[in-house]
């Protein structure tokens, strides 16, 4: 590994490449970037995880769990903002690791991001399909199981066996073609979807305040049952590890740095602005939800928000929430596929992947071959594969990437303290260390099953290392330049 550390990318060269690159269009402003962040963060996790975390771990104090999870993301977000402003190129944590820790570590992070974005998009597409079926059922339209579920997704005891999840495949292709059409068009579509789902969330919060029963907040932190994570302060911490999943995706904003008009100024606004907005919405949403209904009523509920809506007596909110979830998932898929193609774009530019991943469309200035390839791969996973187990690994991989970015800030501050930084992470080394410790604590707080996902993650990274030594190390442009 010590041998690999000398193969680093020069930051000054990265900055020159970003300034003169014509491969991608610089069309995104600060609001576009904030919308990308909100699009990635607010998904159906808000509507499902809130009730589960309250009923099983934290009680009404799930609001504190959201704050704790947000703090971990905020520390990492401040570190991401420093790098995104200083190195405004596509690639996110992969590029930051390449400039500080060396090529092999960068490859590990890049391969890890494949898991977060590509496999995550497949998982989200399957859930998108399920909520679409529920939404159509409100209007007496029922999709056959054979074309709305794969064999692996068919519920036990079902009369009809699933064959292919066609809606999941269709949404992946639709989003991919939108991304090929152009980043500005994708940003506009994302902004519309974000406006829709945020509007529904605000309506739920606004109407819900009138139905809050303050008795439901007592006790605010239920007593511990004798097991770690089952209420008490340990329950608040374990719930924070659970609801952290709802924050996954804000780092995808940094993958669009090469398409921002003024990345030095706008990237920190996009990353931190989207985090702040989503945290406020999450805390208010969980406050209303646990105030309208007692947290014990969410136990075992397949749709916890529906329990709160029943207490409110507003029948039309059911389809509206379902529509918001569909919209939320649509924008999550868009941002994940955007992030994936941009990470692979940069890795291909560095010679670590074949050239097709960095081929830019002559008219639309998008990595269209990469988008098209991932449309087939991701849709195939969504349509046929048993992806549930693999999809659950994404949070472990994301926390790993967050820890690496925080560590990279510490390394670069020591190695290159005089370099100009348009945005500086405050209180270094305190903030990066808090990011490392808080993200590490969230990992520890997860149940044993999640550590099994971590074991699978190491298998995935092992496959990546084989590819690295067989192909990437031999074609690395940094290696060739230093030879």
327-367 pLDDT, tens per residue? 888 888 888 888 888 888 888 988 899 988 888 888 878 88
Q: 């139905």: which residue's tokens?
A: 211
Say if CB 11 and CB 88 are below 8 A apart: no
pLDDT above 70 for 186: yes
pLDDT above 50 for 379: yes
pLDDT above 60 for 3: no
Q: What pLDDT was estimated at residue 20?
A: 59
Across the strands, what pairs with 163?
Answer: 150
pLDDT band at 169 (very low <50, low <70, confident <90, very high): very high
Q: What pLDDT was estimated at residue 376?
A: 93
Q: What pLDDT was estimated at residue 166?
A: 94
Structural domain boundaries in the chain = 4-482
Please report the sign of the dihedral spanned by the C-alpha atoms of residue 364, residue 367, residue 368, residue 369.
positive
The per-residue pLDDT for range 79-103, each reduced to its tens digit, is 988 888 888 776 677 888 888 888 8
Across the strands, what pairs with 148?
Answer: 165
Please report the sign of the dihedral spanned by the C-alpha atoms of residue 468, residue 469, residue 474, residue 479.
positive
Considering only residues 329 and 433, tell me which one the structure prediction assigns the higher pLDDT.
Answer: 433
- Cα–Cα distance, 271 to 78 (Å, whole number): 8
Query: Would residue 427 be called left, alpha or beta, if left means φ above 0 and alpha means ψ between -120 and 50 degrees?
Result: left
pLDDT above 50 for 2: no
Lowest mean pLDDT segment, chosen from 41-45, 69-73, 117-121: 41-45
Mean pLDDT, residues 416-432:
90
Say if CB 243 and CB 58 are below 8 A apart: no
Q: Which of 250, 258, 206 is nearest to 18 (CA)?
A: 258
Q: Tell me how long the chain is.
A: 483
The per-residue pLDDT for range 10-46, each reduced to its tens digit, is 777 777 766 656 666 777 788 888 888 888 788 766 7
Mean pLDDT, residues 134-163:
81
What is the average pLDDT value for the chain, to the nearest integer?
Answer: 83
pLDDT band at 429 (very low <50, low <70, confident <90, very high): very high
Confirm whether pTM is higher than 0.75: yes
The CATH superfamily label for domain 4-482 reads: Amino acid/polyamine transporter I (1.20.1740.10)
Q: What pLDDT was estimated at residue 90?
A: 67
pLDDT above 50 for 479: yes
pLDDT band at 116 (very low <50, low <70, confident <90, very high): confident
Q: What pLDDT was estimated at residue 290?
A: 92
């Amino acid at each position: 590994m010590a041998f690999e550390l000398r193969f680093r990318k020069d930051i000054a060269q990265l900055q020159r490449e970003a300034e003169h690159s014509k491969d991608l269009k610089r069309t995104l402003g600060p609001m576009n970037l904030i919308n990308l962040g909100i699009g990635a963060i607010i998904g159906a996790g808000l509507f499902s995880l809130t009730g589960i975390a309250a009923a099983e771990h934290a009680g009404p104090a799930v609001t504190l769990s959201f704050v704790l999870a947000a703090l971990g993301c905020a520390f990492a977000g401040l570190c991401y903002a420093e790098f995104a402003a200083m190195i405004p190129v596509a690639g996110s944590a992969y590029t930051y690791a390449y400039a500080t820790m060396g090529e092999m570590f960068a490859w590990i992070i890049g391969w890890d991001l494949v898991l977060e974005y590509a496999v995550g998009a497949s998982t989200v597409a399957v859930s998108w399909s399920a909520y679409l079926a529920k939404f159509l059922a409100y209007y007496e339209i029922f999709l056959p199981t054979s074309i709305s579920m794969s064999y692996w997704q068919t519920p036990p005891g079902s009369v009809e066996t699933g064959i292919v999840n066609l809606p999941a495949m269709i949404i992946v292709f639709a989003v991919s073609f939108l991304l090929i059409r152009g980043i500005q068009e994708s940003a506009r579509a994302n902004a519309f979807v974000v406006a829709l789902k945020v509007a529904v969330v605000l309506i739920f919060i606004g109407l819900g305040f009138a139905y809050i029963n303050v008795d439901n907040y007592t006790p605010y932190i239920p007593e511990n049952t004798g097991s770690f994570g089952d209420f008490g302060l340990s329950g608040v911490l374990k719930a924070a590890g659970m609801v952290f999943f709802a924050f996954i995706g804000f780092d995808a904003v940094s993958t669009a740095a090469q398409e921002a008009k003024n990345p030095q100024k706008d990237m920190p606004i996009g990353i931190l602005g989207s985090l702040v907005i989503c945290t406020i919405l999450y805390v208010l949403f969980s406050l209303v939800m646990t105030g309208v209904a007692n947290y014990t009523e969410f136990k075992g509920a397949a749709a916890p928000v529906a329990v709160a809506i029943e207490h409110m007596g507003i029948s039309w909110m059911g389809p509206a929430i379902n529509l918001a979830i569909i919209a939320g998932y649509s924008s999550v898929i868009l941002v994940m596929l955007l992030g994936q193609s941009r990470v692979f774009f940069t890795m291909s530019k560095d010679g670590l992947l074949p050239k097709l991943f960095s081929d830019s469309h002559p008219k639309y200035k998008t990595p269209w071959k990469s988008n098209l390839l991932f449309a087939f791969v991701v849709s195939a996973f969504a349509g046929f594969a048993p992806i549930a187990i693999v999809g659950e690994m994404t949070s472990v991989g994301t926390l790993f990437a967050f820890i690496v970015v925080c560590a990279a800030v510490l390394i670069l501050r020591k190695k290159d303290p005089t370099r100009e930084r348009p945005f500086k992470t405050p209180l270094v080394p305190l903030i990066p260390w808090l990011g490392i410790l808080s993200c590490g604590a969230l990992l520890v707080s997860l149940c044993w099953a999640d550590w099994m996902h971590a074991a699978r993650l190491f298998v995935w990274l092992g496959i990546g290392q084989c590819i690295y030594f067989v192909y990437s190390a031999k074609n690395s442009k940094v290696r060739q330049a230093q030879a």
